[in-house]
Amino acid sequence: MKKSILVLMLSFFFFSANSQERRLALVIGNGNYRTSTLSNPENDAKSMEQSLKNFGFKVIRYENLTQAKMTEAIDDFGNKLKYYDVGLFFYAGHGIQAKGYNYLIPVDAILSSESDVEYNCVRADRIFGKMEEAQNNMNIIILDACRDNPFERSWSRAATGHGLTFMDAPRGSLIAYATSPGRTASDGYRENSPYTSALIQCMSIPNLKIEDFFKRVRAKVQEQTKNQQTPWETTSLLGDFYFNADAELSIQESKNLDANPVIDNSAIKSNRTASPEIKSMAVLPFSNYSEDESQAYLALGMQDAIISEIGKLGTIRVISKTSTFGYTKTQKTIQEIAYELDVDAIMEASIIRIQDNIRLHLKLFSAFPEEKQLWSKTFDSDISNVFNLYNEVIKTVANEIQLTLSSEQESKLSNVRQVNPEAYQAYLTGKSHVFSLTRESQEAALDYFQKSAEIDPEYAPAYAGMVGVWGVLKQMDYVSPDEANPKMKEYMSKAFELDSENAEVYFFDAVMKVWTNFDWEGAEESFKHCLEINPNYSEAWAYYSHMLMCLKRSDEMRETMKHALEIDPYNYIIQVLAGVELMIESKYDLSIEKMSQLQMMTPNNPLLMVILLQCYAETGKHDLAVNELKKLLSQVADESVVKTLTEEYGKSGFKKALNATANALTESSSFISAQHVATIYGYAGNADKMLDWLEKMYIRGDPDLPYIGVLPFFRPYHDEPRYIEIVQRMNLPLGDFE
């Protein structure tokens, strides 16, 4: 009887908390500032609005408010709050401290010095005052507003400093900051800032008191930022508050009075179905227990191969290798990893190699509703039979996750395939170099692929790998099309001759058809065939997306790139390709942010320089555009060309400097990229010479020709007859990208 009363009381309490409590929220996201752009505040505001609505809030959302509009919105919110029990204010954008006070920065603020802040910004105290005047039961203020901002960087050293200062929470309220007082917070590299992302994730956890809620948020942000950012709260709350009060869950938990307190993984459990069905999986980096540490490439190669082979099953989504690198020697639990990668199951593996013998030990875990080891098995093989080992792994996985194989799949997995151990080792070592786009890494990969083919002339993947390397060397302007194209044709023919049902062979065939042969129909057929063989081939999805972009099939492009990023969200090459698409969609500030972050990883990547050059030029940031062009020319041109750019820009401005630079570049003795020259003449406004070099691109069969209909610098010339003629010869669609 007592238990029934307890259940009834809990049901009444949670019903009251979720259904009777009147909740009102004001959400503001300021990102489109005059001097700079933050990529995430608008996304943060939209995401927060949806989450708060899910938990009973009526939400008023604004984006990119001026000082006058921001003040008006806060005052209006305060007046409405009188009729609600709980008030919540969320702000994402620039915030600043000045002379002991905190200010939220509207998008029209001009802050030449600290003294301008008081008259151009909105003091945070304003929202506190309006909330106190409302005399409602409880107020929550969340400030994702400590992002490092461009205003205070130019101030004198006497200025107050970074971030926000500490503020006492008024009676009956809680103030939450994205980071600790005086520190700055990250805007993030995904759709939301780390802080907002953690807030949204933790809101879905049922029956968390607000104090525990923010503890969870703090732990997640510290984890995401590698302890570089620590959220902070100050509170004077008098009662309890739950974002997500779940009576049903509480009833179930109340049946066991000795149950442990809620732990972190309950957040994960509560958002997952109790069904053990596995539709997605991540294969973690292999633990290498071989005596020779140089065998690490074998562990990487085997992980990649098993991911690829499982992906070929077609009915299960498998996270790509590059997106699991961060979990090497991780201390995270299976559920934590599965939650972060959004998968149902995790495979762990260890490998030991002694001479030509391999022992592979695998464990498969289902993650939800609770962590459970499905099986553990050891596979032994000599390296020449490694493909049959993969077949055994795939059959075991399919059996354990209750996946019925087709007769065709059964037949393929029954084939006995052998490989020359030395050829396979050389191939795997080559693959370990291809992910970097530098010339040195590509040449190293080419050497290993050539060695693999020399050892075993019948090994098709080695030839496909060489096609890919020559394609990158050509695309990055390290070699001319005249040098690369015959080699690509030769190696592609050989790869097809040896293995006409290899996904990688079809992928490189599609790449060659797009960026060498300009055969759109043939390329699409090869992309589709590749993805039929391996639906989890993330690079194939990404490059297919670029072809769709060039054909101005914008909706298909977005969906295809989205799929690539779902499979492989941390793949460097895919992120670069996605950044190009942001530029083509005129999302210049977002592309700048993403590409600048990637440039920190690979500062000498010329493709990133070209993307940033165009984004800066399109947004009128000429100093930054010239800086990227200098870096690019220092890699591909004589020193005299860089000197011309520097001197002419100082004397004559942007367009005249670019025109003089293009003239100097065409007169230099080094190999000239026609696309680079056309780009420079295009931004110089020299239509005749830009079109001359566009025609040279066509004559040369330049690999950048597929992009002529979408690249920003071509847009002013879309009505030029010479431009229209080449676009039509290329069988590309005319008109603007939508």
Question: What residues have CB less than 8 Å from 296, skipping those under 6 apart?
Answer: 288
pLDDT of residue 437: 65
Tell me if residue 42 falls in helix, strand or coil: helix
pLDDT of residue 570: 76
Question: What residues have CB less than 8 Å from 216, skipping those under 6 apart?
Answer: 198, 202, 205, 208, 264, 267
pLDDT reading at 49 higher than 90: yes
How far is Cα of residue 611 from the mean position of the Cα atoms in its chain? 17
Query: Rounded to the nearest 5°, which phi and psi values hold at 185?
Result: -115, 160
User: For the CA atoms of the chain, what is the radius of gyration?
Assistant: 29
- Plot region of 111 (φ>0 → left; ψ -120 to 50 → alpha; else → beta): beta
3-class SS letters over 680-722 = HHHHHCCHHHHHHHHHHHHHHCCCCHHHCCCCHHHHHHCCCHH
What pLDDT, in 10s, does the model give residues 416-440? 667 787 888 788 888 878 766 678 8
For residues 44, 50, 52 and 58, what is the CA-based torsion angle, rounded to 10 degrees? 120
What pLDDT, in 10s, does the model give residues 235-271? 888 788 999 876 544 434 333 333 333 333 333 333 4
Residue type, 359: R
Q: At what angle do helices 503-512 and 538-550 cross, to 10 degrees?
A: 20
What is the DSSP annotation of 361-423? EEEEEE-SSS-EEEEEEEEEEEGGGHHHHHHHHHHHHHHHTTPPPPHHHHHHHHS-----HHH
Distance in angstroms (rounded) separating the CA atoms of residues 248 and 18:
12
Distance in angstroms (rounded) separating the CA atoms of residues 278 and 299:
25
Distance in angstroms (rounded) separating the CA atoms of residues 166 and 358:
59
Distance in angstroms (rounded) separating the CA atoms of residues 527 and 506:
7
The average pLDDT across 679-694 equals: 94
242 closest CA partner among 216, 265, 271, 268: 216
Q: 537: which 2 tokens?
A: 């081939």
pLDDT of residue 8: 34
Q: At what angle do helices 639-652 and 654-667 cross, to 10 degrees?
A: 160
Distance in angstroms (rounded) separating the CA atoms of residues 464 and 132:
68
699 closest CA partner among 724, 665, 675: 675
Of 15-19, 225-229, 461-465, 706-710, minimum mean pLDDT range: 15-19
Q: Which residue has the higher pLDDT, 442 or 170?
A: 442
Distance in angstroms (rounded) separating the CA atoms of residues 657 and 653:
6
Of 359-373, 513-527, 655-669, minimum mean pLDDT range: 359-373
What pLDDT, in 10s, does the model give residues 453-509? 999 898 888 998 898 898 888 877 788 888 888 998 899 899 888 888 888 889 989
Residue 679: HSE in the Cβ half-sphere, 13 Å Cα cutoff: 26
Distance in angstroms (rounded) separating the CA atoms of residues 108 and 98:
18
Of 398-407, 590-599, 636-645, minimum mean pLDDT range: 398-407
Angle among Cα 335, 228, 338 to the nearest 5 degrees reads 10
CATH number for domain 280-418, candidates 3.30.413.10, 3.90.1150.10, 3.40.50.10070, 3.50.50.60: 3.40.50.10070
Q: Count other Cβ atoms within 10 Å, centred on residue 467.
A: 28
Between the two ends of the chain, the Cα-to-Cα distance in Å is: 66
271 closest CA partner among 221, 213, 172, 342: 342
Of 21-35, 105-119, 124-138, 291-305, minimum mean pLDDT range: 291-305
77 closest CA partner among 122, 28, 137, 21: 28
Structural domain boundaries in the chain: 2-254, 280-418
For residues 49, 53, 57 and 59, what is the CA-based torsion angle, rounded to 10 degrees? 40
Residue type, 418: Q
Which class for 19: exposed (0-12), middle (13-18), buried (19 or more C-beta within 10 A)? exposed
- Plot region of 28 (φ>0 → left; ψ -120 to 50 → alpha; else → beta): beta
pLDDT of residue 416: 60
2-254 fold: Rossmann fold (3.40.50)
Q: Quick one: what percent of the chain has pLDDT higher than 70?
A: 83
pLDDT of residue 259: 32
Give the DSSP letter of residue 627. H
**b/e string for 400-417 if b means 16 or more Cβ within 10 A?**
ebebebeeebeebbeeee
How far is Cα of residue 496 from the mean position of the Cα atoms in its chain? 33
Please give the sequence-ordered ranges of beta strands (E in DSSP) within 9-149, or none if there are none: 23-29, 57-63, 86-92, 95-98, 101-104, 122-123, 138-144
**Is-same-fold flag (2-254; 280-418)?**
yes
Residue 3 contacts residue 253 (beta carbons within 8 Å): no
Of 443-447, 575-579, 585-589, 604-608, minimum mean pLDDT range: 604-608
pLDDT reading at 518 higher than 90: yes
What are residue 379's DSSP bridge partners? 360
What pLDDT, in 10s, does the model give residues 327-347? 777 778 888 888 777 788 888
306 closest CA partner among 389, 210, 208: 389
- Plot region of 178 (φ>0 → left; ψ -120 to 50 → alpha; else → beta): alpha
Distance in angstroms (rounded) separating the CA atoms of residues 164 and 182:
5
Q: 689: which 2 tokens?
A: 């010479």
The average pLDDT across 196-220 equals: 88
pLDDT of residue 405: 66
Binning pLDDT at 50, 70 and 90, where does residue 670 land?
low
pLDDT of residue 530: 92
Q: Count other Cβ atoms within 10 Å, centred on residue 1.
A: 5
pLDDT of residue 154: 45
Residue 698: HSE in the Cβ half-sphere, 13 Å Cα cutoff: 17
Residue type, 14: F
What are residue 380's DSSP bridge partners? 359
